[in-house]
Amino acid sequence: MLKSDIKSAWRNLWKNRAYSFLNIFGLALGITCAGLIFLWGESELTFDHFNSKKNELYQLKVNAPFNESVFTMESTPRPLAAAIKADIPGIANTARYSDGDQKLLFSFDNTSVYATGRYTDASLFSMFTFTFLQGNASNPFPQLYSLVITKHTAKKFFGTEENAVGRTLRIDNKQNYVITGVVEDMPENSSLQFEWLAPYDITMEKRSENIDEWDSYGPFTYVELDKNANFAVVNNQLRHYIKQKAPAEKSETFLFPMEKWRLYDAFANGKPTGGGRIAQVRMLSMIAWIILLIACINFMNLATAQSEKRAKEVGVRKVLGSGKKRLLAQFTGEAFMMATVAAIFSVLFMYISLPAFNTIMQKNLVLNILNPNHLIFLITVTGICGLVAGSYPSIYLSSFDPLAVLKGAKIKTHGAALVRKGLVATQFAISIIFTISTIVVYAQIQHVKNRPLGFNKSSLIEINPQHNVSAIFPIIKQDLLHTGLIENAALAGHVTLYGGDTDDRFRWANKPEDQKIPVAQRHISPEFISTSGMKILEGRDFGGNTLAERANVVINKSMADLMGEESAVGKIIQSPRGNPDGIFTDMTIIGVVSNFVYGNIYGQADPMILFCKEPEFQSFIYARIKNGANIGQAVSTIETVMKKNNPNYPLDVRFVDDQFDQLFKNEALTGQVSTVFAVLAILISCLGLFGLSAYIAERKTKEIGIRKVLGASITGIVSLLSIGFLKLVGIACLIAFPCAGWIMHNWLQSYSYRIHIGWWMFLVAGIVAFLIAMITISFQSMKAAMADPAKSLRNE
């Protein structure tokens, strides 16, 4: 653009500032949406990239045959890491990493603090990238009971990270550990997240079984390959390695590269599906571009709507020698100028909205406009917006016939009007699809939340005593019941909502010998079934005497169905648990409980056996608060009782219904994001609709004045101005309904327990679209309908 063109562009922007504001605001919202998703996608796509050896690091995955299918898991045999490093050329290093966060109590200077971490081999510190602030990176664990903590953990313990090395902590009031290193906090986009690390050999000392057996699974195993190693050769040697060491084992192993850990971790029947978190990245990225497209559509609509106002300008410029290319450049330049202003505002909007966005996405994203990646993205998106938004208006405006325009002939705008109508319908179709999607996601979440769980999660509290309280549990239970606020209390070996141990060696009558059926098991105290609110379908519950019930079990309905149509009560199950290989114990079924949901909340309940075992098998206390009791008072009372009977361990208590809600984090995130995008799409669409209705009302000023003089009512005039737009919303509904139905039907297929998409969802979305469109249009329509006709006609 020439200098004169730039001045002319600014004059046009200011002269039509109302329309310019709508355009700029709409584009700014679109760029803001795209920018926020870019920040989130950047953190996902660069996961673990800070590791200097990221191209040489792999995790060993195990494919295990499981009931006629193959299950891919991260847990590996304990001897595997050391063995493959010694036996397979090309493997530079290996490290074991415990398979779950360990929450331990750290005591020092009369202070007790909980912190979570993992047990690992010292080799981990040379494989992954750690920044040591204190200690020796080459010798992080100089003794067995060593401890490496993060900077955040040091501040959590001591108020400062300085002089932490050498200090002694007592863990779980049992064993002293010495801090031998302090590392910088791990980046948010790191697969390794911990507050402390301790030697993996400590876990070996704690285990009673033979840790050298190849059927003893536990840790994750990380592998570093030599830079010149042939991946395919090493991977092929690893495939049957477990079978070579233990012929009875049928599991196979393979290397899974670090670059795929975060985004491509979905497997089906032992094969990668190519999906995982990458599907969410693709979905949100696509939606962000769609929102941006809606904003560009707004621009095109409003720009072409004002074409008649600029017709004479185009005619004069052409007569004075401006060619079509020059005019194209001018109008496109105006679009780029508006996109640039919108981009500046979008940066402000991003800074304002980023805290809320971080809360929704559970991230700590930071916008740095000086970051080359962020700056390049902003410039690129601005350029795309200017090009897309300005393309059609520029071509359309530069095509006017100068002679016809200057003679005052009416410009034929039927083609442009048809395009505008199509774009408005497209905008609202997309908005309606987002609205329907939001309704379906919300309904699916509520459907699963309200499904019969098989137990009563309401007012059920889980207490983690952090150590074995079997000897004092009767006292704890008695004290809790005496408060008058607690209905019952029990012990359990597993968290109720999550999976327990699984074994496929159980035997029962009529079970095919060659068929392996995984059966879950839980160890509970006699009070657990009644405390949790499980329903006995047949037979009886465990009695109060644990020793008398040692040979008895209670099963769920799924297990009973496997055993035949007749009653399962009185039948025998042979259990391999706690026995040497080849020896089974006969257990008598005394009762059947309804299936209760655990593990996969969307799936059906797997077969399960409940054992009434001695208290040392239980790790958690469950307490049910009485109906009508004050929740806060009950929790305070539990804290008092636990402090009295378990004084060395701070209270760790959770509500089971809160744990249940946490299982919906991904779905809740999808629902929140869908809602935000639906609101944005509708808002941007309404901006364009508001501008177009104002333009139509302005064009029909004389017609409205004549109609009013001839006796037309305000209602009739409002209908005249609104009916065309409402027809477009109706067309948008016809387009959106089948598209949204197809999209959400496919989304629901990933859930085995799911809703059916009801007609009412489409009706609600359609009504919402019509109401929003009517409200948007009505302001300009009423304003035009109530104008003084004499003034309108005189002005004309």
pLDDT in tens, 78-95: 899 999 999 999 999 999
| pLDDT at position 707 | 67
**For residues 369 and 350, what is the distance between their CA atoms, to the nearest angstrom?**
11
**For residues 635 and 281, what is the distance between their CA atoms, to the nearest angstrom?**
41
Place of tokens 């859930």: 751
Q: Which residues of 673-682 are buried (b: 16+ CB within 10 A; e: fewer)?
A: bbbbbbebbb
| pLDDT at position 49 | 93
Q: Count H helices, E strands: the chain?
A: 24, 26
Cβ(512)–Cβ(531) below 8 Å: no
What letter would DSSP give residue 287? H
Reply yes or no on whether the pLDDT at 408 is more than 60.
no
| pLDDT band per the 50, 70, 90 thresholds, residue 215 | confident
| pLDDT at position 749 | 83
| pLDDT at position 711 | 66
The strand pairing partners of 375, in sequence order, are none
The 3-class secondary structure across 445-459, one letter per residue, is: HHHHHCCCCCCCCCC
Reply yes or no on whether the pLDDT at 70 is more than 90.
no
| pLDDT at position 576 | 79
Structure confidence by residue, pLDDT tens digits, 293-315: 888 887 777 666 655 555 555 55
Structure confidence by residue, pLDDT tens digits, 684-702: 877 777 766 666 666 666 6
| pLDDT at position 675 | 81
Q: First vs last Cα of the chain: how many Å apart? A: 36
Structure confidence by residue, pLDDT tens digits, 704-757: 666 666 666 667 666 766 787 788 888 989 999 999 999 999 888 877 778 899
| pLDDT band per the 50, 70, 90 thresholds, residue 17 | low
Structure confidence by residue, pLDDT tens digits, 155-178: 998 888 888 999 999 988 888 999
Structure confidence by residue, pLDDT tens digits, 530-589: 999 999 999 999 987 777 788 899 999 989 988 888 888 989 988 876 555 567 888 899
| pLDDT at position 388 | 77
| pLDDT at position 662 | 80
Would you state the structure tokens that stand for residue 691, as one six-digit string?
């501008």
pTM of the model: 0.80
SS3 assignment, position 592 = strand
Helix (H) or strand (E) holding 59: strand 57-65
| pLDDT band per the 50, 70, 90 thresholds, residue 320 | low
Reply yes or no on whether the pLDDT at 111 is more than 80.
yes
